[in-house]
Structure 1
Amino acid sequence: MGVSSSYLTRLEVQHLLGVNTFGMWRLARKYDKFPKPTEKPSRSFDRQEPQEVFDGTQVYSWAAGTQEFAHRGAVLLRPLPQNPTPGRWLGYKDTVRGPALDWHTDLGVIRLVHSTTSKAATDVASAITSGGGKDGVVTVCSLYGDMGFRGPALVAADLAHPGIEYEASWGDLAALVGQVLPWWPDLLRHPKVIREWRPGARAAVVEVPANDNEKILRRAAANDVFDVTSRAAATDMANGIRNSRIDHTNNDIRIFCKDGYGETPNQVTAGAVPDTSHHPLPCDGNRQALQAGWHKLALSVHPDAVAALEVALGREPELLPFGAVTEIPLQPGTVSDRWTRRLTMCDPTAAHAVLAQDAKAEAFFTDPLTDMPVLRTPHVNGKQAWRFYAPLSLPAGGSELASVVLDHTLWVITSDGHVHPAPCTPTEHPWWGDGWGDRASEAATVTDQLLDDLGATVDLHQHYNASKGLTALFNEEHKRGAELTRAALLHARMTPPRTR
């Protein structure tokens, strides 16, 4: 979040500063730092001529720093009163943008909205002015969502000009209020918690709420339909999410409630801290057991398994039993056609449902040699397509890699005549050809490992260290359907590319 943009016409600037046309002309000559006009950004469909405007924040902030126009400038950017009278807390307020606290100061009432929503300060200030009852409020502050030099960064909008936002200082606000101000970390910033705060109160101990992903996993973990291994896998990931959210909240408190810079302490204190009585929860258990649990969930047909699998795919795809998503057109007579002939039609599993995403699948299949889920779906141009997960490894059975074929993806032909999509990890994708500066190191690494062991579970963590010879071979512009024999691949692996 940040300060929202606002633009003023020349006439609006005159009204803001209380000057006539001549006075406006004089400003640019008297003040070197008077903001210069600019052109208002236009939308792509707006065919009107560019309009000369002024940046509202710049003009309003500039006015506050001048003796002549300070009384018309941003309230919290004007010179602060000398030895201000300590302010007082006026209580909690509900606003259109969330919970707020009111503070009476020498400048009037300042409403601090504990929200990082864009335009929160403007929206609350506008709501007050349109409602008629200002309750003495002169300005509204909201959270910028970042850290300033003297505390959490603030955005302010004065009731005199609610449409103009500017940055304000937490330190200045605390000086006007005359006490340390409370701040709530994002995950504990609840109206009920803020409503119960009182000056001098100790930080409330609050349970970090579960997010949607944790709720999905907890629901799967409590479902008796799944076996103990699957439920343990879902629980482990849910615990990891809870631990991360508590650690994130504690880290935010350390950052935003730090002592300060130099000798000036920040005038901020945490209004709430996370409940850590059971923290951390056990997680990151035995990976083989977790992978086994997720494998069983992938084969389930229960909706809770689908939802849990979607969470795992975004959080820890390495725990799932399949690699990267691949989509190819349905083309008879190609290498992929040889592969699809062995697919077995089946009822959809959770893995199929996650693979389909929003696509309209026509039929569901399984590769009987690798157990990978496959579906057939209309392509975006109306042609049918195959969508599938790449396997993590191939069945060896005493055979070896005989050749690879380049056709939309990398295909492996084994010495016993089987065709497979090349194995791949969930976060990579084998490709070949000119990568505009990138190198085809993933395809080179997969091939390098399969040449030595057809049944290897491919590891692409160090793919950038792939064989330079194989990388150079795959970086060439091969024709679609080109076949590279085992002999050609071995020769490339042992032959460094020529330097240009």
Structure 2
Amino acid sequence: MGKIRPGRDAVALFNKGKEQDRKPGYEPLLLRLPGEGTAEFDQAEVVRGYAVLRWETPAGGIGLVHSLRDGNAYPRSVIDALYGRHGERLASRYACVVVAQAGTQVSEPYVPRLLALDVLPGLKLSKQYEPTWKHLAATVGMRAPYWFASLRDRETIAAWRPGTPPAIVPACHVTNRIDALVELAADEPDGSPAVRLCWSLAREIRARDHKSVTRDIQELQDNAADSGDGAHLVLGAVPAALRRPDEAPLPEVVRRAGWLSITERRDVLAHRVAALAQRWDGGQDWHTGDAVVVRPDECATAREWAQRLRPVTRDQAPTVLEQELLTNARDTETDELLHDPVTGVPAIRRRKRWSHDEPEDIFTLALQRLPTTSPLAALTVSDHTPWIRTQDGTLWPAPARSGYGISWGYNGTGNHTLARLVDKLLDDISAPAVTPREPNPAQGLVDLLRTTPQDGTTTYNRAQLLAARAG
């Protein structure tokens, strides 16, 4: 078997590592009875987003790992990172790497799981196994510390020593750090929608994480009081008290105005805040919603829309919305970035890759509501894209929220969603895109769209839609 090398070779080795466990008599290190001698805590090191606490034991070095990037991590990824730092000296430094998880043991109310791998002579790896905290405590000679994912502060983990009391850390999950929210708010004028949005979201995240980790700690302490496995660990940190009372939710109009200003920005802070929003709630309060793929070669309506697009130069950093599209582009170097001057939304024209006969694709984002007072004049459905034309002649991709697709030509959710949208837009052209909790649409509209062919192009004018709704 080969030795560990970072990257692709390490992955190949990990697969081979299972061979060691087929040999008779091998017992995972943390599951053995402790040998003679004294275990001592050595130090902490941080490598590639992993905080590793190391003990020197008679069986070799034991590393307890907490991920600083996610609630969970896998020992193989940690060993790869450690090899990148220690190279051939890895086996002499670590005989076992055990990773603390945010997930729980199946048999316990809340006792974090542990996943472990042993590093064997010749830089071979054992099969992954699951020790208990009792196993770990017996091996390192003390109760090892655990940091909940909402309390993983890099400096306090690195500073931990045996006997250190739990640090008091503001609750904030490692995947939803609020630093960018605070920094963006610090640069904005007082009272602006962006400031109000950032502070509101930061406090909401902090409050939810505080509530969640407080509940989990209580469950862990109850388990320890009942002599469960939780009795064999100590808390590395507890949440700092919340010093502000709960606030009323920020009005939707303020949230949407705040996101509108942020998604138009090009700076790094705006991109970081937007990324947090996507992880937090999928950007549900952005003015844009579902992705739309338009094929001008296949549809005259799409071709009409595409003709109003304007090219965007690449001589400046992309806006938040432009970056959303570029992230999903096939080729960011050759795909053409465009701008819709009517909706204010970017688009990408994807270059043909294989032949001149290949359809041209334009990738864009639907709005969540149309910024117009002109009434609905017609609905056109063509090439899997519904279009709204208003009485002033403007053409719009139909409003759609991310995750709630709209369609026609069958008796399913997408058809009902489109029927409900048309039902709303007939009365109020600026009505928001449909959510799952809204009332059922008029049955006449459902039936009309259900029997509409999916192939080709079909247009219904306002009179036809009103008649279907009334019928």
When residues 354 and 228 of structure 1 are mapped into structure 2, their CA distance, relative to the original with a 3 A threshold, is: same
Per the TM alignment, residue 75 of structure 1 is displaced from its structure 2 partner at its CA by 3.9
Q: Which residue of 2 aligns with 1:222?
A: 186
1:73 to 7, 22, 27: 27
Conservation of the 8 A alpha-carbon contact between 1:372 and 1:390: no
Q: Which residue of 1 aligns with 2:455?
A: 479
Equivalenced residue count is 427
For each residue in 1:153-176, what CA deviation from the matched residue of structure 2 results, as whole angstroms up to 9, or x when unmatched? 241416458511333232233345
Conservation of the 8 A alpha-carbon contact between 1:328 and 1:385: yes
- Read off the aligned partner of 2:114 and give its amino acid letter: A
Q: Which residue of 1 aligns with 2:168?
A: 205
Provide the C-alpha distance between the structure 2 equivalents of 1:169 and 1:353, rounded to a whole number of angstroms.
Answer: 47
Provide the C-alpha distance between the structure 1 equivalents of 2:301 and 2:90, rounded to a whole number of angstroms.
Answer: 74
- Work out which of the two has the higher radius of gyration on C-alpha atoms and give 1 or 2: 1
Provide the C-alpha distance between the structure 2 equivalents of 1:373 and 1:121, rounded to a whole number of angstroms.
Answer: 41
What are the ranges of 5 or more consecutive residues in structure 1 without an aligned counterpart?
A: 1-5, 8-45, 47-52, 64-68, 496-500
Provide the C-alpha distance between the structure 2 equivalents of 1:346 and 1:195, rounded to a whole number of angstroms.
Answer: 47
What are the ranges of 5 or more consecutive residues in structure 2 without an aligned counterpart?
A: 3-11, 67-72
When residues 488 and 361 of structure 1 are mapped into structure 2, their CA distance, relative to the original with a 3 A threshold, is: same
Q: Which residue of 2 aligns with 1:99?
A: 52
- Read off the aligned partner of 1:100 and give its amino acid letter: L
- Read off the aligned partner of 1:99 and give its amino acid letter: V
Per the TM alignment, residue 143 of structure 1 is displaced from its structure 2 partner at its CA by 1.9
Asked if 1:259 is matched to 2:215, the reply is no
TM-score by length of 1: 0.66
2:96 to 118, 129, 140: 140
Secondary structure of the residue that 1:393 maps to in structure 2? coil
Provide the C-alpha distance between the structure 2 equivalents of 1:403 and 1:272, rounded to a whole number of angstroms.
Answer: 57
Per the TM alignment, residue 298 of structure 1 is displaced from its structure 2 partner at its CA by 4.2
Provide the C-alpha distance between the structure 1 equivalents of 2:310 and 2:405, rounded to a whole number of angstroms.
Answer: 25
Q: How do 1:170-181 and structure 2 match up within 5 A?
A: 170-175=133-138, 179-181=142-144
Root-mean-square deviation over aligned CA pairs: 4.7
Provide the C-alpha distance between the structure 1 equivalents of 2:170 and 2:255, rounded to a whole number of angstroms.
Answer: 27
Provide the C-alpha distance between the structure 2 equivalents of 1:378 and 1:391, rounded to a whole number of angstroms.
Answer: 21
Provide the C-alpha distance between the structure 1 equivalents of 2:371 and 2:161, rounded to a whole number of angstroms.
Answer: 66
Conservation of the 8 A alpha-carbon contact between 2:287 and 2:368: yes
Per the TM alignment, residue 336 of structure 1 is displaced from its structure 2 partner at its CA by 3.3
TM-score by length of 2: 0.70
Q: Which residue of 1 aligns with 2:70?
A: none
When residues 351 and 176 of structure 1 are mapped into structure 2, their CA distance, relative to the original with a 3 A threshold, is: closer
More off after superposition, 239-248 vs 437-446: 239-248
1:292 to 257, 277, 280: 257
When residues 268 and 290 of structure 1 are mapped into structure 2, their CA distance, relative to the original with a 3 A threshold, is: same
Q: Which residue of 2 aligns with 1:32?
A: none
When residues 472 and 260 of structure 1 are mapped into structure 2, their CA distance, relative to the original with a 3 A threshold, is: farther
Per the TM alignment, residue 111 of structure 1 is displaced from its structure 2 partner at its CA by 1.7
Q: How do 1:311-390 and structure 2 match up within 5 A?
A: 311-312=276-277, 315-316=280-281, 317-331=283-297, 334-339=300-305, 350=319, 353-354=322-323, 356-358=325-327, 359=332, 360-367=335-342, 371-375=343-347, 377-381=349-353, 385-390=361-366
When residues 142 and 329 of structure 1 are mapped into structure 2, their CA distance, relative to the original with a 3 A threshold, is: same
Conservation of the 8 A alpha-carbon contact between 1:216 and 1:308: yes
Asked if 1:450 is matched to 2:425, the reply is yes
| Higher RCO structure (Cα 8 Å, ≥6 apart) | 2
Q: How do 1:391-406 and structure 2 match up within 5 A?
A: 391-394=367-370, 397=373, 399-406=375-382
Q: Which residue of 2 aligns with 1:163?
A: 125
